[in-house]
Structure 1
Amino acid sequence: MSKFWVITKEVYKKNIKSFGFLMMVLMPILVIGFIAAIAYFTSRDTTDIEQIPIAVVTEDTQVQSLFAGEEWNFEVDASISTEEEAEEALSDESIEGYLLIDSTESGIQAEVVHANALNESIPLISEVLSNYQTMMRASELDLSQEEVFALSEPVDVQERYVSIEDGTITEEDSTDLMVQQFGAYFVSIAIMVFIMTYAGIIAEEVANEKGTRIMEVILSSASATNHFFGKLVGVMLVLLTQIAIYVGVALAALFYFRNSEFIEMITSTIDIGAMLRELMGYTLIFFITGVIMYVVLAAFFGSLATKMEDVNKAVTPIVFLALAGFYVGLFAFSVPDHTISVVASYFPLFTPFVMPFRIASETVSTLGIWLSIIGTILFAVLISVVSLAFYRSNVLIYSDTNIFGTIKRSWKVMQSNRQAKKMRA
């Protein structure tokens, strides 16, 4: 066991101190920080935007005062009272546009003349003038302001989200659905990112000594089992270290910005506790089992490579499997009860991608969820055993044939070793 931990420690220390690990950890943080900075300064620019100079040409003083309030981003030039003056000011570029408003007993006629500066404001201008016209006509009908508001009061439509299971309707919280959907997206994207990152790392670790032809020396002091699982556990500890760093950075950022308006807005609309419970539940199980499965497969395919140059070719099937599972998961989000979605959710290599989306849409029972979890865990154990068996056979095989040729040769060696053990017994 001490040899196992020596191998694990060396793999962990080598990767954790490498420049590649530093960049792998920092790049997502820098990208997220860059996006957050852009969003922050964009919002600051939006709030600090300069007012648009305009003119309002009308004989109705009340209409004139409608556009002079602070809620508008307008700077009304009160010195302009005629259309000719407004047109001259527009041509001199001293204003960006002007409003021609004619208020009569029959209604309000309005025209907006601008140099492509009031496009976003026109719908709001129309709404304000429509409301003012309503008030005018209400005054003619001798209606009070409360009566006008009562006539124009919108209908309050409330929404209740329910789930139907075994003919029983159960009321659900819409926040739970949003949290489940977020968890499904999170686990799918996270598995995909970590597979793309660590499949190459574990394959290189396993194939490294084999490519330098010193595997015979290593196996003289440590068994193939200790070497295989030592490499595997060492890389998994590196993965957990990266996750721990992200969790620490997220908690530190949340604590530092906890009093900001943006964080308060998020916490007021999203139940953080419910989100964490969802992420720490089924989502975490599928994340762990999914990553372990693909990392073990990467270790197996990496052991088939004779040279370091062949590692990327060796892990290509894993990448394609992960991509297929990811896209089937996205399909399951749109059509969770489709036959393809249902079947794929119980296929172990696709389960971590598909089942979270079916859970989010509540198209699978609790029994189905646990069957998929048990199946995924058993499959992970199975491929670990199979990978170890092949690793013992092919770790000292140096062949220039393709992957299938190496697997075939490893199978023959494994059969020969079994026959030799039976003869000794």
Structure 2
Amino acid sequence: MNKFWIMTTHTYLSKLKTKVFFISTALILAFLVLLVNFESIILTFAGEDEDKIAVLDESGELFDLMIIQENNDELILEPFIQSLEEGKALVSDGSYDALITLDLNQEGLPEATFYAKNMSDSQLQTKVQQQLQQLKTTLATAQLGIDQVAINEVFSPIAMDTVALNESGKSAEEMNQARGIVYVMLILLYIGVIMYGSLIATDVATEKSSRVMELLVSSVSPITHMFAKIIGIALLGLTQIFIFVSLAYMMLQAKGEQLSEFLGSFGLQDASLTILLYGILFYLLGYLLYATLAAMLGSLVSRVEEANQMVTPIILLIAVAFFLAMFGMNVPESSIVTITSFIPFFAPMLMFIRVGILDIPIWEVFLSVGILIGTIILFAIVGAKVYKGGVLMYGKSSSFKDIKKAILLTRKE
């Protein structure tokens, strides 16, 4: 056990001092800064929020009605009494964002023409169209003798309460909180497996290329060395997560925004402790499963370039699991989600979705976790044999047939 912790500490500290760790951490920190301040950055580059619109009212009565009903703070409507060509010229030189000509058709309803320098700003067109639609509705209801208050009452959203007949079923608020946690955990698991799984495989290949591996496997057992590397890099990942969370918290404090408000925007405020514990459990089990595979496959190659090729199937597996999870977020009760939640490669994501969103029997959770743990143990046993023989195999290797060679090499020793 002493050798295990020595190797774990060595793996952790050696990776902590590398340029790759500092560069990846700096890039993710920069992304976090961008994410937290995204709205401010957009507003800075966007300039003024209000759009200045010139209105050429050929009917002589529609503009006044638009001003009376205007409820859009992002539109500034100004009357325009000059010619149409002069209005187009002012739009072209940027004096106005757009020009609208208004008139009444034969039915006494408004019709309009929209002029802009280009049609790339679809949001502006939508705002103007909504304003004109409201104007048309006002005039049409007035012609029919219908009170505007009655119209508003007709189009107001219906009040509908939701009641779960299953007493143990989750409420709408609990479902939203569960979805928020599930989203966060899925993304963390997806990114964590890709980043740290690849790091484990390349680290093993790097040690083999320097011939350090031969000395290591002669002093400690392969399974000790393999899991020391897995745990060491897991600690490295936890260090990065701690740095990211600390920075995000400090930025929120600097902006004067409370942590509860930020978590509330993702539906994570007052989240269930049970769901959080399930999230941590499935995250750790998912990491161990894929990390064990990455270490096993990384032991078969001698170059970093080949290591990246060998972990491609792992990345494809986690990608399939992620897309299934995104599908399962909307239909968690579907058969494909239920079945895949018991398949070890997909269980960390799919079973977590079912636990977080649905009310499922506890035996299904235990069965999925048991299958997952059993698969990890199986891969650990097989992986240790492959690892022991694989670390002594040199030369070009990118075929899964080398797994059999590594096991045979282990038996000969």
For this structure pair, what is the TM-score category when the shorter chain's length is used for normalisation? 0.7 to 0.9
Aligned residue type for 1:90: G
Matched, 1:93 2:90: yes
CA change 1:72–1:182 in 2 (3 A) is closer
Aligned residue type for 1:49: E
The answer to whether the 8 Å contact 2:301/2:397 transfers is no
CA change 1:111–1:318 in 2 (3 A) is closer
> How many aligned residue pairs are there?
398
Matched, 1:295 2:291: yes
* Deviation at residue 179 of structure 1 after TM alignment: 2.8
* Deviation at residue 294 of structure 1 after TM alignment: 0.5
Match of 1:184 in 2: 182
With 374-383 and 333-342 compared, the bigger mean Cα shift is at 333-342
Matched, 1:27 2:34: no
Distance 2:257 2:398 in 1: 59
Task: Say which of 227, 231, 244 aligns to 1:229.
Answer: 227
Matched, 1:76 2:78: yes
Distance 1:400 1:136 in 2: 84
Task: Say which of 350, 363, 378 aligns to 2:346.
Answer: 350
Aligned residue type for 1:296: T
The answer to whether the 8 Å contact 1:177/1:361 transfers is yes
* Deviation at residue 17 of structure 1 after TM alignment: 1.5
Distance 1:153 1:227 in 2: 71
Matched, 1:217 2:215: yes
CA change 1:73–1:273 in 2 (3 A) is closer
Compute the TM-score of the two structures, normalised by the length of structure 2.
0.80
Deviation string, structure 1 residues 387-415 (Cα, Å, up to 9, x no partner): 22433344334465664443323333444
Match of 2:172 in 1: 174
Deviation string, structure 1 residues 6-64 (Cα, Å, up to 9, x no partner): 32222212211211112222223323434555543434637533522333344449537
Match of 1:119 in 2: 125
Match of 1:128 in 2: 135
Structure index of larger Rg: 1
Match of 1:359 in 2: 355
Distance 1:156 1:356 in 2: 34
* Deviation at residue 70 of structure 1 after TM alignment: 8.0
In the alignment, structure 2 segments of 5+ residues that lack a partner are 118-123
In the alignment, structure 1 segments of 5+ residues that lack a partner are 142-146, 418-425
Give 3-state SS (helix, strand or coil) of 2:90's partner.
Answer: coil
Give 3-state SS (helix, strand or coil) of 2:54's partner.
Answer: strand
* Deviation at residue 236 of structure 1 after TM alignment: 1.2
* Deviation at residue 193 of structure 1 after TM alignment: 1.6
Distance 1:88 1:208 in 2: 71
Counting aligned pairs with the same residue, the percent is 22
* Deviation at residue 207 of structure 1 after TM alignment: 3.0
Give 3-state SS (helix, strand or coil) of 2:112's partner.
Answer: strand
Distance 2:169 2:359 in 1: 16
Match of 1:315 in 2: 311
The answer to whether the 8 Å contact 1:57/1:100 transfers is yes
The answer to whether the 8 Å contact 2:328/2:350 transfers is yes
With 2-11 and 326-335 compared, the bigger mean Cα shift is at 326-335
* Deviation at residue 343 of structure 1 after TM alignment: 1.9
CA change 1:266–1:313 in 2 (3 A) is closer
Deviation string, structure 1 residues 369-400 (Cα, Å, up to 9, x no partner): 23212322332233223322433344334465
CA change 1:364–1:244 in 2 (3 A) is same
Give 3-state SS (helix, strand or coil) of 1:304's partner.
Answer: coil
The answer to whether the 8 Å contact 1:56/1:64 transfers is no
Distance 2:363 2:280 in 1: 18
The answer to whether the 8 Å contact 2:66/2:135 transfers is no
Aligned residue type for 2:180: F
Give 3-state SS (helix, strand or coil) of 2:392's partner.
Answer: coil
For the aligned residues, what is the CA RMSD? 3.7
Distance 1:342 1:289 in 2: 19
Trace 1:241-320 onto structure 2 (pairs within 5 A): 241-259=239-257, 271-275=267-271, 277=273, 280-320=276-316
